[in-house]
Structure 1
Amino acid sequence: MPRVVPAVIRTLDILELFLDHPRLSAGDITERLGLPRTTVHELLVTLVARSYLISEPGKPVMFRLGMPLFQLGAAFAGQLDLVREAQDVARAVAAACDEAVHAAVLDGADVIYLVKADSTHPVRMVSAVGRRLPAHCTAVGKVLLASLSPADLDARVGGGDLLGMTPDSITDPDRLRAELDRVRAEGVAVDDGESDSAVRCVGAPVRDHTGTTVAAMSVSAPIIRWTPATHAAWTRLVRDGAAELSARLGYRVPNRPR
């Protein structure tokens, strides 16, 4: 088995800090990663020389991500038909309900948001494109977890208590499994203030040409606009949106026996 290169791992650790922090100083990076000051300095000099980081003079000098990382991200996104198609469908669903619409994929025990179409209402949400959240706390995440085999699910969520984001988050694995059974039966998942106490979401699965659930789509809205009527309407919209995106990815609903 080829060995990993420690210097590369440390470099990637530095870059990944910027997923949650738009600007960091050398001191911030040293403290967060627990690396020697000289090591951080050398890696930062290299990253700046290759323009992967940009240094902003000040006291202290601050660093932010550079253009090559955007180019790499754009190249990756360009390979994903899912992202392009999801953007179109999410915008259409958002226009129909005037609420925020997301598309996300599963990565380990987390979801990563690929697409977000905003509503015209000024609402702050914990979700954002590129943001990672615990899957079990979100509607899209529950949809994706519900698509896994029991062994795969166990490997991702384990048997201990789960991290909660709000007082309403599901933290008991057995309760989560029961919730996922309901999601499989109903074909949709609900985030009832589990990732953000002020927001409710409903999500549905997105399938590719093989019938595999590869993503999930959701409609999110503040609780002040969440009523039984809007819940029903948004459930229909997200089902239809997810079905449209699935069709664009080549999924065809199996013929049912008559």
Structure 2
Amino acid sequence: MGRMVPAVGRALDVLELFLDRPTLSAPDITERLGLPRTTVHELVTTLVERSYLVPVSGQPTRYRLGLRLFQLGSVFADRLDLAAEGREAALKVAAECDETVQVAVLDGTDVVYVAKVDSTHPVRMVSAVGRRLPAHCTGLGKMLLSGLGAEALDARYPRDRKLPGMTPNSITSPARLRSHLGEVRARGLAYDDCESNEAVHCVAAPVYDHTGAMVAAMSISVPTLRWNDDRRREWGELVREGAAGLSARLGHRGGGDRA
């Protein structure tokens, strides 16, 4: 590792102040960072010259983030690979629980697995990247469906049409599905209690991108022989943390999440 450059670090400190404030003045920056006024003046002048900060219209002594940061952020977003980022995040979760961890996206009424890390246990869930399953039968799918508005949900699941089931535990009633999705929204976690596989339980959490949109979900899948109330709570918190970590990798800052 090379040596940290103090001047670069201070410039980044200035920019990061704007994560919580739309505009700041030089005195604001001086007070928050505890730097000399001359140092702040030089930093702000340089950042303005390079278009990382711009003066606020009509308030030339106040500043906001500039176009250059937007350009860098756009390049970052364009080059994100959900499958690759999902696998990296799933590896961390799987290392803690040694159960199968998956990341999936919603495609119509199906979930499609885009990343997966297997458990090392002899008895484990069997699936594959690219596999599709009915969304309403899976924890991942129910998590993603909970992010849809009423109109989008009605388009996928007409209220007068029974849903196909995969096991005796699958939800097949449109009314029950809508009620269940309300519980998922309130809890922030979705469970699959042997609804897609009679021998497997699953808990899933939402993944958001830099815009606050729910773009994927992450799950931990556990055979019934290793599932109990303690695991339900423990793996629920773990997958919530893992999904938040993946969201951060996708540029999500938290708060203001939307479907």
Q: Do both proteins adopt the same fold according to a TM-score greater than 0.5, normalized to the shorter chain?
A: yes
Aligned CA distance change for structure 1 residues 141 and 93 (closer, same or farther; 3 Å) = same
Q: Does 2:62 match 1:81? A: no
**Structure 1 outlier segments of 4+, above 6 Å:** none
- Correspondence 1:86-97 to 2 at 5 A: 86-97=86-97
Percent identity of the aligned residues?
60
- Deviation (angstroms), 1:79: 6.2
The alignment's TM-score, normalised by the length of structure 2, stands at 0.67
- Correspondence 1:64-213 to 2 at 5 A: 81-123=81-123, 125=125, 127-159=127-159, 160-213=161-214
- The DSSP-based 3-state class of the residue aligned with 1:174 is helix
- Deviation (angstroms), 1:254: 2.9
- Deviation (angstroms), 1:91: 0.8
Structure having the higher Rg: 2
Separation in 2 of the partners of 1:89 and 1:153?
29
Q: Deviations over 1:116-160 (max 9, x none)?
A: 100111235353210000000000000000000100011112220
Aligned CA distance change for structure 1 residues 210 and 202 (closer, same or farther; 3 Å) = same
Separation in 2 of the partners of 1:133 and 1:110?
5
Q: Which amino acid aligns with 2:229?
A: P
Separation in 2 of the partners of 1:254 and 1:205?
13
Q: Tell me if structure 2 keeps the 8 A contact 1:125–1:196.
A: no
Q: Which amino acid aligns with 1:118?
A: D
Separation in 2 of the partners of 1:155 and 1:88?
34
Q: Deviations over 1:169-223 (max 9, x none)?
A: 0000000001100000000000000000000000000000111000000000001
Q: Which residue of 1 aligns with 2:237?
A: 236
- The DSSP-based 3-state class of the residue aligned with 2:230 is helix
Separation in 1 of the partners of 2:245 and 2:205?
11
Separation in 2 of the partners of 1:136 and 1:147?
13
- Work out the number of aligned pairs and report it: 178
- Correspondence 1:240-251 to 2 at 5 A: 240-251=241-252
Q: Which residue of 2 aligns with 1:222?
A: 223
Separation in 1 of the partners of 2:110 and 2:201?
19
Q: Which residue of 2 aligns with 1:14?
A: none
Aligned CA distance change for structure 1 residues 109 and 121 (closer, same or farther; 3 Å) = same
Q: Which amino acid aligns with 1:240?
A: E
The alignment's TM-score, normalised by the length of structure 1, stands at 0.67
Separation in 2 of the partners of 1:111 and 1:126?
16
Q: Which residue of 1 aligns with 2:3?
A: none
- The DSSP-based 3-state class of the residue aligned with 2:104 is strand
- Runs of 5+ consecutive residues of structure 1 not aligned to the other structure: 1-77
Q: Which amino acid aligns with 2:241?
A: D
Q: Deviations over 1:31-80 (max 9, x none)?
A: xxxxxxxxxxxxxxxxxxxxxxxxxxxxxxxxxxxxxxxxxxxxxxx965
- The DSSP-based 3-state class of the residue aligned with 2:216 is strand
- Runs of 5+ consecutive residues of structure 2 not aligned to the other structure: 1-77
Q: Tell me if structure 1 keeps the 8 A contact 2:205–2:219.
A: yes
Q: Which amino acid aligns with 1:178?
A: S
Q: Tell me if structure 2 keeps the 8 A contact 1:100–1:116.
A: yes
Q: Which amino acid aligns with 1:249?
A: L
Q: Tell me if structure 2 keeps the 8 A contact 1:126–1:195.
A: no
Q: Which amino acid aligns with 2:221?
A: S
